[in-house]
Amino acid sequence: MLAILPVSAVVRPATARTSVASGGLVGGELSPKAAAAARARAAVRRQLAERGQGTYIGDMLAERDSALARWPDQHGRPLTVWIQPSADIAGWDSEYVTGVRDAFLTWDALRLPVRFAFTSDSADADVHVTFIDHFDEPISGRTKWTRDDDWWIIDANISLALHHRSGAALDGEAMKALALHEVGHLLGLDHTDDPTSIMAPRVRVRSLSAADRATARLLYTLPPGGVR
C-alpha cells in the first residue's frame, strides 16, 4: 500500500476584495478598456466550457475566487532551479535530490511555455528548493509564490520535509511524489478532490495523471486573472 503524504500548503497573497451594494441604478457605458476586459473574460469562460472536460480547472477557480495564476511565457528562457545539494538532517540521502530533479523533469516533459533548467549557483536561480526536517503543521511540503496585480506569478520557492510530523521518514519515491505535487503548485495548479491526481490534497499516487497534464496544458493557454 502506498503511503499517503500529508497535505501541502501553498502560500500566496491574499486577494483584496471590495464589497459593492447595488441600488438598482443604471450605470454609464463601459469604457473601451473595461469593455475589452469583459470580452476577454467571456472568451476565457467559453474556452473553459469547451476545453475544461478532463481537467480540474473548475476546482482551482472555486478555491481561488474565480481567478487563475501562472508564469508568463518565457520565450525560450527556462526558469533556473537550484536544489539544495545536501542537508545536515538525520536520515539525509542524496536520493532526495534525484527525486526532486526528476519531478521537475516530469513536468518539463509537458513542454509548457515555462521550462526548467538546473543551476548549482543559488544566487543565479529563479526557484529555490530547500529541505527541512519536518513541519510543525500536518504537511510535508510548502510552496510560496508571489504574483503581480495581473496574476502573473513572478517568484516561487519550495520547502520539502524529510520527515512527517509524526517522525516517520519519507523514502525517495515519496519525496519525488511530494516534489511533483509542489512543482504543480509552483506552476499555478491548485488542489483537486480527485484522489488519483498528484494535486490531491493528500497525495496518494506517485505520478502525474491525465487530468494533471490536461489541466496544466489548459492553464498555459489562458491569460491569468479573474474569469467572472
Residues 124-127: contacts with CB under 8 Å, at least 24 apart: 124/80, 124/82, 125/80, 125/81, 125/82, 126/79, 126/80, 126/81, 126/155, 127/79, 127/80, 127/81, 127/82, 127/156, 127/157, 127/158, 127/186
Query: Three-state SS for 158?
Result: strand
Q: Contact, 77 vs 113, CB < 8 A?
A: no
pLDDT over 90 at 102, yes or no = yes
| CA–CA gap between residue 183 and residue 189 (Å, rounded) | 9
What pLDDT, in 10s, does the model give residues 34-80? 455 555 556 666 766 667 688 998 888 888 778 999 999 988 899 99
| CA–CA gap between residue 161 and residue 63 (Å, rounded) | 25
Model pTM score:
0.83
Residue 157: strand pairing partners:
128, 144
CATH class of residue range 33-226: alpha beta
Q: Contact, 215 vs 189, CB < 8 A?
A: yes
| CA–CA gap between residue 142 and residue 157 (Å, rounded) | 8
pLDDT at 3: 55
What pLDDT, in 10s, does the model give residues 173-210? 999 999 999 999 999 999 999 999 999 999 999 999 99
pLDDT at 13: 57
